[in-house]
Structure 1
Amino acid sequence: MKLLKRLIATLVLLPAIAYANEAGFALDRAPDRTKDVSALQNGAKLFVNYCLNCHSASSMRYNRLRDIGLSDDQIKNNLLFTGEKVGDLMKITMLPADAKAWFGATPPDLSVIARAKASDAGSGGDWIYTYLRSYYKDDTRPTGWNNMVFPNVGMPHVLWELQGVRTAKYVDEKDPHDESKTIHKFDRFEQARPGKMSAIEYDNAVADLVGYLEWMAEPAQNTRKRLGVWVLLFLGVFLVLAWRLNASYWKQVK
């Protein structure tokens, strides 16, 4: 019985263990902002101002932002800067060849990045939320930045003015498997230069941005979930009716 309990406990913990190992760096849980209209609007503003310079979102049109409460005039006056039209796709003018030469790789399209990262690390929102909060100054890198979630990342820290400049501090520990070896282990981030936002304000801003990226990956997701609940309720009622009808039918046959 004890062996069976241990086996069940191990099987229950396996997804969490795999999740942690696959991520490499412990991921923080991202707040769910996909139903918060004001958070989505702020996330859209951050996305257009800080992400859309290098990353396209070619599956999303600006006018789809009406779904988060923005009018065409608000979109045009606050989110369009280079002559785009409200009905245009969220594309950039930077050529892929130039992007590869500058960053070492073409920046990925962010239309469904939240869903894409979900297949890599269990939760795309958690991955992006931790990633954008794990940059630190590293003068050995071409861009001057590095990231704990994505080591040796080619993308610079585009939100550094908001977060400020941080450095990574490490501690040396004995290898638990071999005491003759020492492990260089990450300990904490240390603020070297303050940003425009406090740590709490920055985390909230990143949460809004992540919420927008999750919403953009599937704008109809909340509607789908609501409909799914009603469909399941209908199927449950139908199942009861079918079960009683079947019992009544076979009762007459007997």
Structure 2
Amino acid sequence: MKKLIIAVLAFLPALAFASGAVKLDKAHYDLTDKASLQNGAKLFMNYCAGCHGTQHQRYNRVAEDLGIPEDVMQANLNFTGVPIGELMKNSIPEKDAATWFGAPPPDLTLVARVRGTDWLYTYLRSFYKDDERPFGVNNLVFPSVGMPHVLEPLQGSARLKTQVHTVDGEEVTTPVGIEVDGNGELSGEEYDAAVLDIVNFLAYSSDPIKLERHRIGYWVLGFLAIFFVFGYLLKKEYWRDVH
């Protein structure tokens, strides 16, 4: 126990820095918005699935949940050619990915639960040009990021905005945000909406039965409330003669 406490205390500063370095924007996603989920699935499969899989879900299950006909799913969102009932794995060989990127790109089925939707929403909108990085870009939320900005055609190229201030007589430069050049296919508002759709899809992927679980939960709570009334009356009846 003593070693565990020491380890936790040792990591607290790092955790505090990681959570406080960049203010995360709120991702107001909606799992009931089928149009958003469908667009998020389309964007994810076209821009992300070449490297990142969501291998803990199946094409036919996603098609059913999102209201996508299976033939449309197969023709437009399945680029690996596997049967509709197969898992949604990425198309890049793991060995090649490790060589090109330094490590295999992670599976993103549960990323919304691990990182959080606010983190994802901010991360996908925080890439900026950095010629010192292997892919020419960096990220405010994930410094020294090891992936290219695959959504750059939609957003456009961005540069880092910095601010210079004096600390103890020395000039210190700190990042304050990014500025997009406006050459992307989408406007700023449209790009934010597209990213939110991707986040919505990944939130669904991380917990496909969340809405159903909540719906059943209300019925369970209602049953328990009614059962409590009858249980209380029965208890009073049993104990009436004792008291």
Give TM class, smaller chain: 0.7 to 0.9
Distance 1:62 1:232 in 2: 33
2:89 to 66, 88, 91: 91
Conserved 8 A contact 1:40-1:68: yes
1:208 to 172, 186, 197: 197
Conserved 8 A contact 2:30-2:200: yes
* 2:207 counterpart of 1:221: no
Deviation of the 1:235 alpha carbon:
1.3
Secondary structure at the aligned position of 2:228 is classed as helix
Distance 2:163 2:221 in 1: 52
Conserved 8 A contact 1:23-1:149: no
Partner of 2:54: 57
Q: TM-score, normalised by structure 2?
A: 0.88
Conserved 8 A contact 1:165-1:195: yes
Distance 2:68 2:142 in 1: 34
Instruction: Answer with 94-103 or 197-206: which moved more.
Output: 94-103
Partner of 1:107: 105
Aligned length: 228
What is the aligned-residue RMSD (CA, Å)?
Answer: 1.8
Deviation of the 1:26 alpha carbon:
0.7
* 2:171 counterpart of 1:172: no
Q: TM-score, normalised by structure 1?
A: 0.84
1:231 to 220, 224, 229: 220
Distance 1:25 1:170 in 2: 13
Structural mapping, 1:71-82, within 5 Å: 71-82=69-80
1:130 to 107, 118, 122: 122
Distance 1:229 1:206 in 2: 31
Deviation of the 1:193 alpha carbon:
4.7
Question: Structure 1 residues 20, 211: closer, same or farther in 2, change over 3 A?
Answer: farther
Percentage of matched positions with identical amino acids: 45
Q: Which amino acid aligns with 2:178?
A: F
Question: Structure 1 residues 226, 112: closer, same or farther in 2, change over 3 A?
Answer: same
* 2:136 counterpart of 1:149: no
